[in-house]
């Protein structure tokens, strides 16, 4: 499978704040890594559910917006997001993988999952997204 590192965008402020990085973005999938750190934890010391939701939402949004070109970018907004929290991480890095699974000219559907580097399945999600106008 071809990879496209040249189109991975510079981190935006919220991405920089959380510390996640897009490491792969292809027509088939997007992969995002987030090293765990204390500031991401809830009061029990495990990653806050909002961190999971953010990674899943971001992975699905990027998955549906692949164009293969820095000049011809595409953006989307989330219409619905469903998250299933399944486990807690055993490792030190959250790895979100998102895939576009269908859609048309204005909307698309996507799925994503989060695992850690041990392979532990942490969360899954599905979502509906609308492409933004230019």
Q: Is the pLDDT confidence value at 13 over 90?
A: no
pLDDT tens by residue, 45-65: 999 999 999 999 999 999 999
Highest mean predicted confidence (pLDDT) among 1-15, 33-47, 101-115: 101-115
Q: Which of the pair, 82 or 19, is modelled with greater confidence?
A: 82
Q: How confident is the model at residue 104 (pLDDT cuts 50, 70, 90)?
A: very high
**Residues pairing with 125 in the sheet:** 83, 112
Count the helix, strand and coil residues of the chain and give each as a percent rounded to the nearest 5: 20, 40, 40
pTM here is: 0.91
Domains of the chain in start order, with CATH, are 13-29+38-131 (3.10.129.10)
Side-chain half-sphere CA neighbours of 53 within 13 A:
8
């Amino acid at each position: 499978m071809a990879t496209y590192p040249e189109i991975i965008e510079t981190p935006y402020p919220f991405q920089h704040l959380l510390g996640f990085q897009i490491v792969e973005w292809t027509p088939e999938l997007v992969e995002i890594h987030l090293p765990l750190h204390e500031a991401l934890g809830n009061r029990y010391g495990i990653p806050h559910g909002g961190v999971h939701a953010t990674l899943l939402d971001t992975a699905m949004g990027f998955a549906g917006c692949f164009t293969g070109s820095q000049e011809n970018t595409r953006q989307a907004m989330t219409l619905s997001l469903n998250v299933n929290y399944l486990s807690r991480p055993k490792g030190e890095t959250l790895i979100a993988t998102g895939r576009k699974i269908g859609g048309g000219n204005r909307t698309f559907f996507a799925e994503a999952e989060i695992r850690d580097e041990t392979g532990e399945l942490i969360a899954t999600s599905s979502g509906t997204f609308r492409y933004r106008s230019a």
